[in-house]
Structure 1
């Protein structure tokens, strides 16, 4: 047992065997400056390497019997790892069979010395806290305020309409709801973390906050910021001052002072899912942080995700009803051929075509399409077989009317393409993207301005003048006063995407677009009927989510169960699956099946009560495989270190 100042350090490493705290002696030259939470450099015993890590805690003794290595140096005198963020990262990593350092890499930005010095020199105090802010409007009187005060977990259905702020800007009503909730929290001298999918939502939310909160109390953090600006915002968030922190999914880890509210807008959006290991969804991180901190938690959306529906049905989250029913005027219409040739070219039924023409006399009309580009899907003009790349087999696409077709995967030109089925050489477009739709509508309405908004040409707002706005899902601009009509095209095509959550995603995309309509304006859902069409028309998303959850329970699909995807070489995968036998009937295994990478994949489904134990077993298997001794074989190349990859709640299978 060693004595003296001891720093317990989490080493920043992706290796699973290093996902633990290591004890280092604090040298006398650093004893006056070392503090918990600092980023430090430490020696590793293998190869004499130096690694970075975080001091999690300082103690006087160590259980290690040998001589401790000393800290090499302190990277920054500013503590960057708050204790509550460490506990959150450790809990989430254990839950996902991952490394805590991988989560901290998302939570804590890289250091910028100049930004740090500027922050240390800045002694400016933030502006005043809100005084007696108004209640959160649109819901039963006092229901949301009580939940904020008592730290409840709530789900709210957003009011589906655009509203005008005092500044004159137009935003979705959801942004006002979050701004009002944040102002109430800030008035109690507590911080709020507001998590949104992307910068479009962030712009609306910041505009709504500007009407209710002193701007110096708001911190923006997102991946689009320059590194130095993001680092300085992170340092400001850790100050002992109540703030409102607005950002994308990684903002849920912000070091907020006296956290009083965590709110997620549109938790079902795919951008809320973290693609980097260990792949913790922002919703799950928020749930764990709420449980640890006692802050209020709000899920807000036009639709309710099936995951939140499960939490409502098990009593973990409370659904707060709206004060009065507000819903768009949705018309479900068949995709019948229109009498007008121009309407047929634009894939618009007669009733929707007539309504759009009438609405254009009063203001803008929104047309939502499935994909960007000109002809996203191409087939052989002779035999109608889908056209694929002769090099990699990927689908061919045409981004513009005059541009050559190319492969979506490898980007190779299809100038010398030849059909493998009939030897034909001519291509034909079978779908129309945003560019083609805009072109067709431009011919149909020659005197009307056409605006195109997609990932390549984003448009955030449009004015109230008559214009046709063609946008891909998720890229719809906000219109002043709302759209006078909304046309939701390509519904059938959206629903054929291979995904367990395709119906849930489509309902969310359509609902978010419908919520941009002016009060009373018609919203046409083209070519979709059945339960999902009824859910949109009646605006009873909770009923649809409940029925969807019941169906998934019967089939043991997520989120009724937790799912872990395990990938490894055959011998390692077989050993890992054998280790799961101790869990008994609480789990079941699908596969294994081979993959192109030479690995095999198995999907393990587990009841929630067994999921933590499943994560422990799989993490132990990861460490066993990573530390396996590999003997070199003469005459053969050295093999790469074996890996066993684990991904809980994998979006590809859930």
Structure 2
């Protein structure tokens, strides 16, 4: 293939669906040595002299049937091939699966260019003797830098062998805390995943581990610091600065690494991918909020299929989606050698006999458990007590003291709440102060508490246990770790700090309020919140669940979490709810939504729900279909979206120009749509 005749096929960095395909450009002679697959380029668009950024996907010979003249690439933005061929295939497959655009996936996969960081990396590559190579170095660091660390609590060598063989596992973790050699306490799950990732790296392959939030990431990083060299670990998460994230990306591009991060880390480059791990895949933080809304678990499943690496899906509570894959035989269920059941006490949410317990609004059994843990009366050493609550703030929800109607903001109709004791109530949406509030139903002007928040609970517990230190941990008061000294730790769900040695008691309040959420995943979410708190308890310490009874409380107390996932999946099959079936939501102007519905063959669908109005001049329809029909449905929906995007209607008379067609929002597998 001659250099002058080479054609570069480029994917444009554009969210427009009509531009979501490869464009052919000629390669000028002066750029023939620089244009190669994966590099960033700038190319012209044949409209108003515009230019666009993009990535070279491949080089090819000119099409003999084409007799025209191709536009030439204007410039090579960077010589580094940042878009690898496996990541491009993954982006294309996911975009097609979700009726989205590949460029939206690539924005998550390839961070923005940082010139100084890139120059320093290129200089280091040149010093290492790799500057003349056509591809970045793929040499792994010497594996002798890491000491072998076997996985604990499972049959000897079983997990390592399964990962080395490229198996797909649904891993049940060990629900307890573990102390690292440097004295840091982390969840045992972090030690297990760190050991598997390190073993993969020692075999000369890359391991990618995706976790929901920074708390999980800190535990995993601490576990890796104890068993793997720092140079082998690359961190990629939203809290990093742009230069740090690009530096980590280039390090992952250079050779086998252990790459850890949040949901977008599943797109990290890997010269040789050996292991993909998704921790707590039921956590909504792993659901991508940007188009095309691909869940990290789904991205990992597709990438494993494309690259044939090992896959581990794990969590303290098994998701219904993972259970479906287990029942299909796509994931193999693996558990520890012995069961680890927490000591759970169920108690009704009734008035306590002790005055101090009544003041703190907790039952007598929970109050006694806290008192014994703080004083050491239980026979164990005195230590901290964890109190989990549903909402942050002081009084996050208020209502009319006369008629009980929820108090709403006069400006935007948002919910009114009180951030701290004595503060003027304010709107949770716009922040406006409710200085002259009156009820829209009865015109009463007094407010009353509906839901106490973490601040109010901490205040009441401080009065119930005078002289005891009270620690507040929520979004406004982040706390990652507490010491072993006696203290009351009031934390919102998901914000619980780790106590050295574990908590001597765990109180789970507001269970009924947590279950009152209107979502298909409410039971699964509650089990995850409660279990995540219970595993922070010291061995033998009680976990008291207040105010919840029935099958869900039984499953939590008896550690029947897999049975819960199995029964939940069976119920959803009967109702034809996800993940038993797939669904797609189409939101936009009524005419545009109906155009999408008409474009999809009814024979591909189980049924269509709607369209129903969700806002002024905006409607939504939901399509339900079998997994086997997913590719055809996505292709039909995507074609309709492209047609809608390319339509241009003239503006009303007297107004020059055009106005765009109504915007369509398409989302496949929306976890909150039902």
Moved more, 201-210 or 383-392: 383-392
Q: Displacement, 1:269?
A: 0.7
Cα deviation digits, residues 527-555 of structure 1 (max 9, x gap):
11111101110111100000001111111
TM-score (norm: length of structure 1): 0.97
Q: 2:648 aligns with which of 618, 629, 653?
A: 629
Q: Is the 8 A contact 2:140 2:257 kept in 1?
A: no
Q: Is the 8 A contact 2:17 2:100 kept in 1?
A: yes
Q: Distance in 2 between matches of 1:163 and 1:232?
A: 31
Moved segments of 4+, more than 4 Å:
123-127
**Counterparts in 2 of 1:85-484, with a 5 A limit?**
85-122=87-124, 123=127, 128-129=142-143, 133-239=148-254, 241-361=255-375, 362-484=382-504
Q: Distance in 1 between matches of 2:346 and 2:57?
A: 57
SS at match of 2:324: helix
Q: 1:604 aligns with which of 604, 623, 628?
A: 623
Q: Is the 8 A contact 1:375 1:397 kept in 2?
A: yes
Q: Distance in 2 between matches of 1:613 and 1:143?
A: 40
Q: Displacement, 1:595?
A: 2.2
Task: Tell me what 2:378 maps to.
Answer: none
Q: Displacement, 1:127?
A: 5.1
For the pair 1:498 / 2:518, whether they are aligned, the reply is: yes
Cα deviation digits, residues 73-118 of structure 1 (max 9, x gap):
1111111000000000000000000000000001111011011111
Q: Is the 8 A contact 1:143 1:320 kept in 2?
A: no
Cα deviation digits, residues 257-286 of structure 1 (max 9, x gap):
211100111111111000000000000000
Q: 1:585 to 1:52 in 2, by over 3 A?
A: closer
Q: Is the 8 A contact 1:161 1:173 kept in 2?
A: yes
Q: Displacement, 1:243?
A: 0.7
Cα deviation digits, residues 236-275 of structure 1 (max 9, x gap):
1001x22100100000000012111001111111110000
Q: Displacement, 1:143?
A: 2.8
Q: Is the 8 A contact 2:586 2:622 kept in 1?
A: yes
Task: Tell me what 2:41 maps to.
Answer: 40
Moved more, 583-592 or 395-404: 583-592
Q: 1:597 to 1:234 in 2, by over 3 A?
A: farther
Q: CA RMSD in A?
A: 1.5
SS at match of 1:639: strand
Q: 1:79 aligns with which of 78, 81, 84?
A: 81
Q: Is the 8 A contact 1:141 1:323 kept in 2?
A: no
**Counterparts in 2 of 1:572-587, with a 5 A limit?**
572-580=592-600, 582-584=601-603, 586-587=605-606
SS at match of 2:35: coil
Q: Is the 8 A contact 2:390 2:510 kept in 1?
A: yes
Q: Displacement, 1:585?
A: 5.8
Q: Is the 8 A contact 2:605 2:623 kept in 1?
A: no
| Gap regions ≥5 residues in structure 1 | none
Q: Is the 8 A contact 2:647 2:660 kept in 1?
A: no
Moved more, 273-282 or 128-137: 128-137
Moved more, 510-519 or 623-632: 623-632
Q: Displacement, 1:126?
A: 7.3
SS at match of 1:482: coil
Q: Is the 8 A contact 1:489 1:525 kept in 2?
A: yes
Cα deviation digits, residues 375-411 of structure 1 (max 9, x gap):
0110111222111111222111111112211111222
SS at match of 1:338: coil
Tell me the matched-pair count.
651
SS at match of 1:357: helix
Q: Is the 8 A contact 1:42 1:51 kept in 2?
A: yes
Q: Is the 8 A contact 1:563 1:648 kept in 2?
A: yes
Q: Distance in 1 between matches of 2:91 and 2:604?
A: 30
Task: Tell me what 1:57 maps to.
Answer: 58
Q: Is the 8 A contact 1:129 1:213 kept in 2?
A: no
Q: Displacement, 1:636?
A: 5.2
For the pair 1:618 / 2:637, whether they are aligned, the reply is: yes
Task: Tell me what 1:516 maps to.
Answer: 536
SS at match of 2:587: strand
Q: Is the 8 A contact 1:587 1:610 kept in 2?
A: no
Q: Displacement, 1:416?
A: 1.2
Q: Distance in 2 between matches of 1:628 and 1:503?
A: 44
Q: 1:27 to 1:463 in 2, by over 3 A?
A: same
| Gap regions ≥5 residues in structure 2 | 129-138, 376-381
Cα deviation digits, residues 99-157 of structure 1 (max 9, x gap):
00000001111011011111122357975325672332122333312210111110111
Cα deviation digits, residues 578-615 of structure 1 (max 9, x gap):
222x2416431000011214221001111101111110
Q: Displacement, 1:526?
A: 0.6
Cα deviation digits, residues 319-362 of structure 1 (max 9, x gap):
10210011210111111111123322322110111011000121
